[in-house]
Structure 1
Amino acid sequence: MYEKFGEFDSAAEINRAAAAQRAEGDDEAILMIAEENGIDKEDALDYINGDVGELASPLMAAYGKLEVERKVLEPYEIMEDWLQYIRIRCAEDPRMALAVRRKGKSLKGCIAAILEWSMKHQRPVDKEILKAVGITYRVTLGIPGMGRVKQIITEYYLREEAAGS
């Protein structure tokens, strides 16, 4: 995922690396930093051309990391919804955008936290519902609702931030 420049911990680190490459006149390296971090090529070109002062804002850096991780993980159905909830939380709370970008935090880890909650909170599905779909064996379900998922997402990404406050 981060083969050439490694994983950056923040937008500030991305911007420092891009500034160093700009000082060297290495536009290709800036484009590579952008690509590795999910930042649009057009935004990188704006930076290279001097139209903007930084390659990435904290929100751009968070969205970029999520996009890179999405391509690797290939989430589907409900996991796509969860990814969208993470994006929404990043837009709502600047602390969340910073936390999403942190090393050690990942989309995969966040989905694992949601699934852990799901496994611990399974309940049997009503027999009449099972009968209606032709199932004769016991089925349990533990899918969290939207509000609970947003809570789990927030706790996953901001847990250390809250502990350090």
Structure 2
Amino acid sequence: DVSINGGFNPNYSNLTEGGRTPESTITAPGADYGFVLNIYELDNSFNMKINGVALATKELQFQSGVTNNPINIEFTNGTVWGDAGVSQIYNITNGTDAAPSLRVSISSEGVISMFGRKSPTDMTLYPLRLRSGTSFNTITWNKTGNNEIKVDQLVTGPTKIRGNGIGKKIVPCTL
């Protein structure tokens, strides 16, 4: 595994409601078996471009009740953050690599899958799916050269994103 040096934790100040955060650029090393992005804390949506290709067809919104950018991702059982028994995404701030708030996984073929937690105390990662006409794009992940990840967010109240990425490499088995 290869990590992003120091992870990512953009420091936003003087944000304008309804505007966008400055774009943060993360350089990730090549990895021949895909990439995992662990998001430890999110408030409340994000847009991501990987090597110039958007992660999804729309910004991913995780907070229920936002009218200018409605929630477009859910757990596979149909629940969303803010439902009974499911915390709002901004309350799940204790993510780690083992149990991030959200996990974005990019396969070696560029296929995206996502997982998320339902509360600060439940460390289980549940599979997620997109809804409301939003879909994932296929990403080209550089296996040997660097990869550029750009992240920005629609500003809705407090806005933040913090995490780290890990490249997956195939290691020959020696017996």
TM-score by length of 1: 0.24
TM-score by length of 2: 0.23
Greater fraction of residues in strand? 2
Bigger relative contact order, structure 1 or 2 (CA pairs below 8 A, ≥6 apart): 2
Greater fraction of residues in helix? 1
Larger Rg: 1
